[in-house]
Amino acid sequence: MGASTFEVGLFKPGPDGGTAGPEMIPRTWDRDGLMRSVPWMKLQNLQGRNIYVRPHGEHDLSMVDDLQRDALNRMSTSGFKPALVVETSPGNFQAWLKHSRVLCRETSTAAARALAEQFGGDKGAADWRHFGRLAGFTNRKAKYQGEDGLFPYVRLVAASGAVYTNADQFMGEIEKKFAIEKERVSEHAAKFVRNEPRAMRRTIEHFRSNPLYGGDGTRIDLAYAIYALSRGASEEQVKAAIRSRDLNHKGNDRRQDDYVDRTVKKALAAVVKNGASIER
């Protein structure tokens, strides 16, 4: 992967495969710290936790999940040879592609989505900081448990660490497309700002007091984000508004940031794709 620092997540599903309770143990380590922690991670894996990894912070990689072998072959023959390939369960793979430079969050997510679509990967796992499985540990999903009670190992298949051949051309196309989409959002927002009386412009407090949402903070945050982005508010302004309520129930600071980022990403996608379904 070529990263100097990693985030590791040790996840254990709740009862009957659920996600209730504090099931994820997060850690941030440099390479040496990660290697020193292998015995502890082996114990956690034995006790039922799945072991995940991703680069820390913004990075130069895109992970494509849920690939079949023919997709890997198409990648390699079309200029998209992965820097790292991991077999996560028998016949199922994750591929990490290395770009020629570090990408910002928005561009990184756009690249991951385009790669997933092009090669038949899981679009739901396509974003800038999605976890992949760490090779050398077992995949503890119940559906993979054998009759002998054992689980399959996550195997390292290939690890060249190389930048894929079409990196510059592909990222040029992604950045051009991303710029066009942002311009569409800006034009859409400008239209609403021109046509909407100032008295109709609402703050997030209006949405919080609206009985339509029944006090559901998640629905309120998304509805406000769609409304505000479609009317010219910047992503940072919307994020600040969402953070104006107590988000401690979402977890630590990193999880709160993840929630805010996801909400804004969903809202931006709604504005771009559908012209937004906006409360008037």
Q: Would you list the domain boundaries of the chain?
A: 5-165, 196-274
DSSP 46-95: HTT-EEEEEESSS-SEEEEEEE-HHHHHHHHHTT---SEEEEEETTEEEE
Structure confidence by residue, pLDDT tens digits, 221-268: 999 999 888 887 888 889 988 988 888 888 887 888 889 999 998 998
Structure confidence by residue, pLDDT tens digits, 163-173: 999 999 999 99
Residues in CB range of 64: below 8 A, 6 or more apart: 82, 94, 95, 96, 97, 112, 115, 116, 119, 121, 122, 126
Give 141's pLDDT tier (boundaries 50, 70, 90). Answer: very high
Q: How is domain 5-165 classified at the CATH fold level? A: Alpha-Beta Plaits (3.30.70)
183-195 burial: b if 16+ Cβ within 10 Å, else e = eebeebbeebeee
Structure confidence by residue, pLDDT tens digits, 77-89: 999 999 999 999 9
Q: Which CATH class is domain 196-274?
A: mainly alpha
The whole model's pTM is what? 0.69
The pLDDT score that the predictor gives to residue 27 is 94
Higher pLDDT, 275 or 273: 273
